[in-house]
């Protein structure tokens, strides 16, 4: 069998003009717990972690109004503003979260406008590089939510529009209204439920930003793929790295439009996750991983 190394590109241009490194950082966990609610308890440590992420080459950070709510965007601004020129902060709106366990979709145009304006203020930005609809609101026609974001883009408050937790039909509907630069759905080594959506994004050069790339449940601590037995662990041992790093490296090899946003609250995990960018997998290893 051919066992050549497969090299992967390390960057992807979101919306054709925001060139980012393909391992970014998902900031959601820098919030109060439980429920990703309230300010992060170790605020200064959180700021340090964000600065370290940028030092390590992160230039894509994913957040949302719903994380905190508001506090997650605030810690990013307090750690990193004035921002490095190449830093892309992607935020999301369209969810109201009055209490830790009460999450309500709100895709009304007037709510999205209010959310964009509040995010601009918290993030201290004039324009949001990538604004994602956090989740479709069943009470509001999808086209109305997307239309509202298209208007905000026209006004210059948003540079690019992304969508999250969507179906293929919703992606096609959104694209018929306005250019869609990214899709953020769950996907990981152990969870391929959104394979059709990833394929569609790859074919159409849309950034695919999988969440839960280490297999985590959004409201629970721990990365199931970091401790897994089996093929991830076997290849990790051979290469002298950790299974979670193989899970991330596999995603980078899987499709060129995947941008990773692993979440962590510890600098050592952050460093480990970033190091996955330089892991080269061979065709034999990829075949074994793809058969899983």
Ligand X SMILES: NC(=O)c1ccc[n+]([C@@H]2O[C@H](COP(=O)([O-])OP(=O)(O)OC[C@H]3O[C@@H](n4cnc5c(N)ncnc54)[C@H](OP(=O)(O)O)[C@@H]3O)[C@@H](O)[C@H]2O)c1
Q: Which stretch binds ligand X (CB under 6 A): 27-35, 99-107, 137-145, 284-292?
A: 27-35
**Terminal CA-to-CA distance of the chain, rounded, Å?**
18
Q: Is 261 in the site for ligand X (CB under 6 A)?
A: yes
Provide the minimum distance between the beta carbon of 209 and ligand X in the complex, in angstroms, as a whole number: 8
Token duo for residue 210: 């999988």
Active-site residue set = 67
Q: Is 216 in the site for ligand X (CB under 6 A)?
A: yes
Among 49, 62, 71, 142, binds ligand X (CB under 6 A): 62
DSSP 221-251: ---GGGS--SHHHHHHHHHTS-HHHHHHHHH
Half-sphere exposure (Cβ direction) of 261: Cα atoms closer than 13 Å: 27
Among 249, 265, 277, 281, binds ligand X (CB under 6 A): 265
Closest CA to 80 of 46, 111, 130: 46
The residue whose two tokens read 């600098």 is 267
C-beta of residue 78 within 8 angstroms of C-beta of residue 47:
yes
Q: Which stretch binds ligand X (CB under 6 A): 74-82, 149-157, 198-206, 257-265?
A: 257-265
Number of residues located near ligand X, criterion CB under 6 A: 29
Provide the minimum distance between the beta carbon of 285 and ligand X in the complex, in angstroms, as a whole number: 20
C-beta of residue 29 within 8 angstroms of C-beta of residue 222:
no
Judged by beta carbon, residue 83 or residue 283, the one nearer ligand X is 83
Q: Is 212 in the site for ligand X (CB under 6 A)?
A: yes
C-beta of residue 177 within 8 angstroms of C-beta of residue 150:
yes
Among 22, 29, 97, 153, binds ligand X (CB under 6 A): 29
C-beta of residue 190 within 8 angstroms of C-beta of residue 231:
no
Q: Is 263 in the site for ligand X (CB under 6 A)?
A: yes
Residues at the site binding ligand X, with contacts judged by CB under 6 A: 26-29, 62, 164-165, 184, 211-216, 218, 221-223, 226, 244, 261-266, 269, 272-273
């Amino acid at each position: 069998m051919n066992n050549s190394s497969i090299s992967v590109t390390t960057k992807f241009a979101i919306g054709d003009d925001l060139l980012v490194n393909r391992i970014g950082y998902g900031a959601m966990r820098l919030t109060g717990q439980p429920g990703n609610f309230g300010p992060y308890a170790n605020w200064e440590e959180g700021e340090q972690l964000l600065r370290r992420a940028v030092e390590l080459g992160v230039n894509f950070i994913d957040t949302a109004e719903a994380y905190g709510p508001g506090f997650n965007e605030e810690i990013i601004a307090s750690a990193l503003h004035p921002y490095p020129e190449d830093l892309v902060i992607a935020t999301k709106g369209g969810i109201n979260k009055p209490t830790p366990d009460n999450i309500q979709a709100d895709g009304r145009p007037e709510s999205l406008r209010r959310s964009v304006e509040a995010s601009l203020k918290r993030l201290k930005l004039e324009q949001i590089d990538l604004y994602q609809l956090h989740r479709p609101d069943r009470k509001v026609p999808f086209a109305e939510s997307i239309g509202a974001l298209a208007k905000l883009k026209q006004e210059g408050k948003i540079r690019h529009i992304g969508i999250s937790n969507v179906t293929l039909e919703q992606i096609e509907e959104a694209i018929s209204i306005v250019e869609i630069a990214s899709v953020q759905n769950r996907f990981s080594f152990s969870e391929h439920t959104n394979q059709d959506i990833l394929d569609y994004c790859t074919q159409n050069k849309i950034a695919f930003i999988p969440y839960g790339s280490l297999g985590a449940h959004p409201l629970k601590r721990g990365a199931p793929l970091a401790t897994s037995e089996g093929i991830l662990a076997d290849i990790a041992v051979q290469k002298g790295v950790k299974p979670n790093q193989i899970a991330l490296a596999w995603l980078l090899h899987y499709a060129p439009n995947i941008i990773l946003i692993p979440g962590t609250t510890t600098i050592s995990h952050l460093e480990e996750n970033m190091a996955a960018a330089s892991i080269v997998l061979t065709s034999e290893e990829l075949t074994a991983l793809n058969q899983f």
